[in-house]
Amino acid sequence: MPVLVTGGAGYIGSHAVLALLDSGWPVVVLDDLSTGFRDAVDPRAALVQGDVGDIALTRATLARHKIAAIMHFAGSIIVPESVADPLKYYRNNTANSRALIESAVAEAVPHFIFSSTAAVYGVPSDHPVTEEWPTRPANPYGTSKLMTELMLADTAAAHAINYCALRYFNVAGADPDGRAGQSTAGATNLIKVATEVAAGARARLDVFGDDYPTPDGTGVRDFIHVSDLADAHVRALELLVEDPARSHVLNCGYGSGHSVRQVIAAVERASGRPVAHRIVARRPGDIAMMVADNAALVERAGWQPRFDSLDRIVADALAWEARLAKSRARDLTSA
């Protein structure tokens, strides 16, 4: 069953491509390469360069490759940017997703896995957060993702398609075998930035607020290793294939949280170097804490994490930064 992976040249998408290929699924990647990288796509996969909002291109790709499932990663993901430029997020995340869903229905693709987010919950007052928690997004990023979830639910009720919306908490780390990692310039993910500082690629880390109602005053997040998350996508696909009449909404996290200060300490521990940082004002849209209840993912999909420790996530992220540094050095030498 060939799988179309949109955004498969990006950070999470490229890891999902690896997980699918390693499990024997043929893969076609659709990516406009605006933020992704051509060399991030495993050569075992076919690459089509284009926009998921281009219905003619998408339909032709689905038909040509006889696609039986879609994993949809393409979109914009930065919360503060969504507050400053909400229409960008409603175009990239909502309008383009609607076009992709239309293409899936038109080409009779039976299964759809959607890269959603814990931001759909807004500011929950209880932790860990279950999938039954009311969806009250606190920023346009969360709203743009929730709107796609709603479109999928309505589409599944009207057409022969089932879906799984995977609500990510905080994704970090890199492929343990060094095949993929996060290479995005100017990334805002905490562990990515902290490891860049430790590797000398950034001058310092900004800590956005130290006055939250948390044990050490800094924000607490549930960090999930990107390879465990990629495996969750494969498990979700198997779940959809096993029961085509049922759809799912599943949290993706470990059920435990770590603060910004704890992340800094872990990076310093692993690298043996200090992580220069400063306290600055909170960012618009940020919240104090977000921790997942992952029981549904474990029970329904049979998912079991393999890399569920902060130290392992940081170690793999640091290893990827070392590879990027070597690559930059080679480029300078060849120039």
Task: With a cut of 90, say whether residue 126 has pLDDT above it.
Answer: no
**242 with 261, same domain?**
no
Structural domain contains residue 183: no
Whether pLDDT at 334 is above 80: no
Q: Which amino acid is at 24?
A: G
Pair 248, 114 in one domain: yes
**What predicted TM-score, i.e. pTM, was given to this entire model?**
0.95
Task: Report the CATH number at residue 315.
Answer: 3.90.25.10
Same domain, 216 and 118: no
Query: Does 55 share its domain with 72?
Result: yes
Closest CA to 9 of 63, 34, 145, 91: 34
The answer on 209 and 158 residing in a single domain is no
pLDDT in tens, 44-63: 999 999 999 999 999 999 99
Q: What is the pLDDT of residues 223-273, one digit of tens each?
A: 999 999 999 999 999 999 999 999 999 999 999 999 999 999 999 999 999
Contact 181, 14 (CB under 8 A): no
Distance CA 125, CA 72 (A): 30
Q: Percent of the chain at pLDDT above 70?
A: 98
* Predicted local confidence at residue 76, as pLDDT: 93
Q: Which domain holds residue 213?
A: 190-220+255-291+307-334
DSSP state of 130: P
Domain count along the chain: 2
| pLDDT level of residue 283 (50, 70, 90 thresholds) | confident
Confidence of residue 332 (pLDDT cuts 50, 70, 90): low
* Residue where the block lists tokens 């997942």: 292
Shared domain check, 194 and 88 = no
% of the chain surpassing 90 pLDDT: 90
Please indicate whether residue 254 is annotated as part of the active site: no
pLDDT attached to residue 102: 98
User: Same structural domain for residues 230 and 287?
Assistant: no
What is the CATH classification number for the domain harbouring 55?
3.40.50.720
Helix, coil or strand: residue 307: coil
Residue 335 pLDDT: 58
Catalytic residue of the set 11, 89, 121, 141: 141
Same-domain pairing of 154 and 284:
no
Answer whether residue 182 is part of any domain.
no
Q: 300 in a domain, yes or no? A: no
DSSP helix, strand, coil percent of the chain (3-state; round to 5):
45, 15, 40
Q: Which of 188, 76, 52, 167 is nearest to 113 (CA)?
A: 167
Q: Does some domain include residue 260?
A: yes
Residues 55 and 44 occupy one common structural domain: yes
> How much is the pLDDT for 51?
96
Burial class of 106 by CB neighbour count within 10 A (0 to 12, 13 to 18, 19+):
middle
pLDDT of residue 39: 93
Same domain flag for 59 and 199? no
Tell whether 274 and 316 lie within a shared domain: yes
